[in-house]
């Protein structure tokens, strides 16, 4: 017959020993180098991301500024075109002014000779050879001598003479005879 002892054997307790880990210096150095490299890579990644973000913001601002400058350029081009158009119009006016002869110069001189402070209006201006007859009305007869002296001072007439004055209640009619130094041709 076989006996099996199912109870634990009563033997002396044995102390279990654990293995103590030993740290090698080379392992510590590799671990430290690994941590430093990982930290450097993390810092470099952060720096690169910051640079990318700053560059992106700068690109956006520059695009907005470029759009604004393009609009300003279009506006400047439009103003330059308007300036050229106006200058061409001014050139045409100046050319026409330079080419004025005869009756145009005569009328300009007569209009510029009318006194500003008196009430005087002209009804007719006729020219026969070198004689020019100016007919008009005034409410103040003392403006006629001023008008005559202005005509003489204009330099376009050799002489200015009063032909007649007819006084009414409201206005006086006058007539002047002017002599031109040269015979002007009617256009």
68 found inside a domain: yes
Same domain? For 120 and 168 the reply is yes
- pLDDT tens across 15-48, in order? 777 777 777 889 889 999 999 999 999 999 999 9
| CATH code (residue 127) | 3.30.1360.100
Which of 122, 183, 123, 133 shows the shortest CA–CA distance to 163?
Answer: 133
Q: Other C-beta atoms within 10 Å of 72: how many?
A: 10
77 found inside a domain: yes
Instruction: Count how many residues are written for the chain.
Output: 187
Same domain? For 58 and 31 the reply is yes
Same domain? For 94 and 136 the reply is no
Q: What is the pLDDT of residue 12?
A: 60
Same domain? For 136 and 92 the reply is no
Same domain? For 59 and 124 the reply is no
Given pLDDT bands bounded at 50, 70 and 90, which one contains residue 186?
very low
- Residue 137: which residues within 8 A CB-CB, separation 6 or more? 120, 121, 123, 171, 172, 173, 174
Q: Show the 3-state SS of 18-47.
A: CCCCCCCHHHHHHHHHHHHHHHHHHHHHHH
Same domain? For 86 and 121 the reply is no
38 found inside a domain: yes
- Average pLDDT on 134-140 reads 89
Same domain? For 108 and 175 the reply is yes
- Last residue of some domain: 99, 114, 142? 99
pLDDT at residue 184 above 60?
A: no
- pLDDT tens across 89-125, in order? 999 988 887 776 667 777 888 888 888 776 888 888 8
15 found inside a domain: no
Query: In the chain, what percentage of residues exceed pLDDT 70?
Result: 89
Q: What is the pLDDT of residue 114?
A: 84
Same domain? For 79 and 135 the reply is no
Residue-number span of the structural domain to which 94 is assigned:
26-99
Count: domains in the chain: 2
CB 132 within 8 A of CB 126: yes
Instruction: Please give the backbone phi and psi of residue 141, each rounded to the nearest 5 degrees, phi first.
Output: -70, -20
- pLDDT tens across 58-89, in order? 999 999 999 999 999 999 999 999 999 999 99
Which of 152, 110, 103 shows the shortest CA–CA distance to 127?
Answer: 103
Given pLDDT bands bounded at 50, 70 and 90, which one contains residue 143?
confident
Q: What is the pLDDT of residue 101?
A: 65
57 found inside a domain: yes
Q: What is the pLDDT of residue 182?
A: 64
């Amino acid at each position: 017959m076989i006996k099996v002892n199912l109870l634990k054997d009563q033997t002396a307790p044995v102390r279990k020993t654990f293995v103590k880990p030993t740290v090698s210096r080379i392992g510590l150095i590799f671990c430290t180098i690994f941590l430093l490299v990982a930290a450097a890579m993390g810092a470099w990644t952060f720096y690169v991301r910051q640079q990318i973000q700053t560059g992106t913001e700068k690109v956006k601002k520059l695009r907005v500024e470029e759009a604004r400058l393009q609009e300003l350029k279009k506006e400047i081009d439009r103003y330059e075109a308007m300036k050229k158009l106006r200058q061409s119009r001014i050139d045409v006016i100046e050319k026409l002014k330079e080419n004025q002869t005869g009756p145009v110069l005569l009328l300009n001189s007569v209009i510029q000779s009318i006194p500003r402070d008196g009430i005087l209006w002209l009804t007719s201006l006729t020219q026969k050879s070198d004689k020019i007859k100016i007919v008009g009305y005034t409410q103040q007869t003392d403006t006629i001598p001023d008008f005559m002296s202005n005509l003489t001072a204009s330099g376009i007439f050799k002489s200015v003479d009063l032909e007649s004055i007819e006084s009414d209640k409201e206005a006086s009619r006058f007539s002047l005879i002017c002599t031109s130094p040269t015979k002007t041709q009617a256009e």
